[in-house]
Amino acid sequence: MAAPQPCPPPSRDASPILSLEGVSVHYGRRLALGDVTLRFSAGESVAVVGPNGAGKSTLLRVLAGMLTPSHGRLTRHPGRDGGRPRISYVPQRTGVDWSFPVNVLDVVLMGLPSDGPLARLLPFRRAAREQALAALDRVGMRDYAHTQIGELSGGQQQRVFLARALVQEGDVLLLDEPFTGVDVPTQDVLLAVLAGQCQTGRTVIYATHDLGQARQAATRMLLVNGSVIADGDPRSVLTAEALRSTFGGQALIIGADELAPSVTGGAQ
């Protein structure tokens, strides 16, 4: 597969799509995310980087509107069709039971909006199936449309989840750890699809704990650990100080002298 063209850096006057103002999230008494103020624009490709438990998933859930913050608020600016922006979400694939009795096509069809009271009595329309198959084509999984999901590899599962988000044709694509534990072909498909999304003016925001991955694919990087530690283009964000306060003593920083241009190490 040809190397995907990276997304252009967003221009300063790009229209905003989602913004957070002073958002905090508590789980019980524990503060998961504190005082976050951020603005996301159309066409951005944003990597949210931080260690486990840093609040990456929490941030994505707030952006998806699934989690109401305990303080602050989320503003949704008009999407490409002028209405409320549509959000597509790719959850962590380890969160579901892969022995569930459905095939790949069934899973992708779950991404389509609900039918009206009469249409929902019938099987999916032909157009809906075609749409799902086209999405599977884009992630290289069309041949697996009728395969039982339990027979897929981890990377294939991830691609099916991506196809399910693609049929939603959202203005914002949120992905929770899409690169974790996937094979190289899947990684290539993910990079190509994500690049294609932001080139068509969609916003891509994904969580990752892999710094190298984030630097390669994102035009903007957020370092998160309970709050936002750094925000900007990957080169300016990756400073020794920012990494230390994100990953604490866990960070293995290679070539610390010339850190900004050449960070290659991740954090484990």
Partner 1 sequence: MIDLADVSRWLLDPLERTFMQHAFLAIIMVGVICGATGAFVTLRGLAFMGDALSHAIFPGVAIAFVTGGNFLVGALVAAVIVSIGIGTISQGGRISHDTSIGVIFAGAFALGIAIISVQQSYARDLNSFLFGTILGVTRDDLALTATVGGLVLLALLLFRRELTAVAFDRTFAASRGLRLWRWDQLFLLLLALSIVISIQTVGNILVLAMLVTPPATARLLTDRLTTMVVLSSVIGALCGVVGLYLSYWQNIPSGACVVLVATAVFLVVFLLGPRAGLLTVWLRHRLHHGHPERDAGMTRPAIATSTTDPLAGDTDQP
Give me the least distance between CB of 191 and partner 1, in Å please.
22
Give me the least distance between CB of 264 and partner 1, in Å please.
32
Nearer to partner 1, 114 or 200 (CB): 114
Give me the least distance between CB of 201 and partner 1, in Å please.
21
Pairing of strands 30-41, 45-49: unpaired
Nearer to partner 1, 35 or 106 (CB): 106
Q: Phi/psi at 111 (nearest 5 deg)? A: -80, -15
Of residues 209, 235, 210, the one with CA closest to residue 220:
235
Nearer to partner 1, 124 or 235 (CB): 124
Give me the least distance between CB of 226 and partner 1, in Å please.
20
Q: Which residues bind partner 1 (CB under 8 A)?
A: 28, 64-66, 87-89, 91-92, 95-97, 99-103, 106-107, 110-111, 114-115, 117, 120-121, 148, 150-151, 161, 164, 168, 174
Cα 68 to Cα 34, 60, 78, 95, 189, distances in angstroms: 14, 12, 20, 21, 33
Nearer to partner 1, 151 or 241 (CB): 151
Pairing of strands 87-90, 172-176: parallel
Output the six-digit token pair for 255. Answer: 């070539």
Nearer to partner 1, 128 or 240 (CB): 128
Residue keyed to tokens 């190289």: 184
Give me the least distance between CB of 247 and partner 1, in Å please.
26
Report how far residue 25's alpha carbon sits from residue 234's, in angstroms, rounded to the nearest whole number: 26
Give per-residue burial for 110-119: e unless 16+ CB within 10 Å, then b: ebbeeeeeee
